[in-house]
Amino acid sequence: AIPMIIDTDTGSDDAVALLLAAAGGLADVRGVTTVAGNVPLELATRNALISLQVAGADEVPVHPGCERPLLRSPSSAQHVHGEDGMGDVGLPDPWRTPHSEHAVEVLLSYPRHLPGELTLVTLGPLTNLAAALVRDRDLLTRYRHVYCMAGAADARGNVSATAEFNVWADPEAARVVLQAATPDRVTWIGWDVSRKDAVMTPADQLHLERLGTPMAVFAHRINRTVAEWARDVTGLAGYDLPDPVAMAVALRPELVTESEQAHVEIAVGDETRGQMIVDRRRAAAEPNVTLVRRVDETGFKKMLFDTCARTPLP
Ligand code: BDR
Ligand code: CA
């Protein structure tokens, strides 16, 4: 199994990604770090604890991290994921409490114990990782690999016309990470990938619900407000799962069907905040990430349904 740390602003799609990692049998999740994003930090932490509980992974420590972006005011996505970030379905409180060690310390210290072995998957704004990079500029080289759900390769945004939420929420943090990134270390999975290859159609939603296992029912219910948002506000054919598809790539990189090495930057100007720029002028800009463009949709959904069909041991 892949030794892994997951950094998350746990909302309803992060929660599904946590199920894939913690209950799918392919990863050995050593720790979860939380960050403000979809919801304020306290709720992100609560939601991570609940998700791990549902996945039967109560031994995984959850470490709260940064409460606000590096420079910007905090902004959440509670109109999309629900006030609690989990579809407002009245989830009971988790029985565990978070760990006292700060997320940034965890991102810095875990790879010291397991140099070059840990995989880091980031599913929220990149504040924690950027703060850690300020302390250790070579930090990315101490991980086996870093997968980031961030940005949108074709500049079609979900927050603004051109910006994806995770980079829009903390564009300076995304910049710090990209400045330290190299394509052999960092894989970048944008929102465009999930809109193409990880859309939960009404038939998929019904299938998930009918699996009837605790994880499937949980995954279905918590995405209730996201499904409504997709249907009523965006007019799209289903809700998409950006964090789960990024997690699937980290768990099974062979699911990637199209990728390229590219130089990626994030705009921080007022009008262009969070826009992802892909610079392919090789003479001007060295690639800094492996940019995922397409993923095997059938393989991804099989992983999702197979994992949710499992019944974790208590
Ligand atoms: C990203 O923002 C959040 O809404 C999701 O959890 C995902 O990480 C998609 O833009
Ligand atoms: Ca997220």
Determine the Cα–Cα distance for residues 1 and 21; give it in Å rounded to an integer. Answer: 10
> Does residue 11 line the site of ligand 1, with CB under 6 A?
yes
> Does residue 174 line the site of ligand 1, with CB under 6 A?
no
Distance 284 CA to ligand 1 centre (A): 31
> Does residue 7 line the site of ligand 1, with CB under 6 A?
no
Q: 189 and 199 in contact (C-beta within 8 Å)? A: no
**Quick one: angle between helices 127-135 and 103-113, nearest 10?**
60
Determine the Cα–Cα distance for residues 185 and 282; give it in Å rounded to an integer. Answer: 19
Check: complex ipTM more than 0.95: yes
> Does residue 190 line the site of ligand 1, with CB under 6 A?
no
Determine the Cα–Cα distance for residues 3 and 304; give it in Å rounded to an integer. Answer: 20
The number of CA neighbours under 13 Å toward the Cβ of 141 is: 6
Q: Give the global pTM.
A: 0.98
Instruction: Tell me the pLDDT tens digit for each residue of 114-136.
Output: 999 999 999 999 999 999 999 99
Q: Looking at residue 233, what is its pLDDT?
A: 83
- Pocket residue to mutate for ligand 1, from 14, 129, 165, 276, most atoms within 8 A of Cβ: 165
Distance 83 CA to ligand 1 centre (A): 15
Residue 13's CB: how many other CB atoms inside 10 A?
Answer: 31
Q: Is the pLDDT of residue 175 over 90?
A: yes
Determine the Cα–Cα distance for residues 212 and 214; give it in Å rounded to an integer. Answer: 7
Instruction: Tell me the pLDDT tens digit for each residue of 14-49.
Output: 999 999 999 999 999 999 999 999 999 999 999 999
Instruction: Tell me the pLDDT tens digit for each residue of 241-294.
Output: 999 999 999 999 999 999 999 999 999 999 999 999 999 887 789 999 999 999
> Does residue 43 line the site of ligand 1, with CB under 6 A?
no
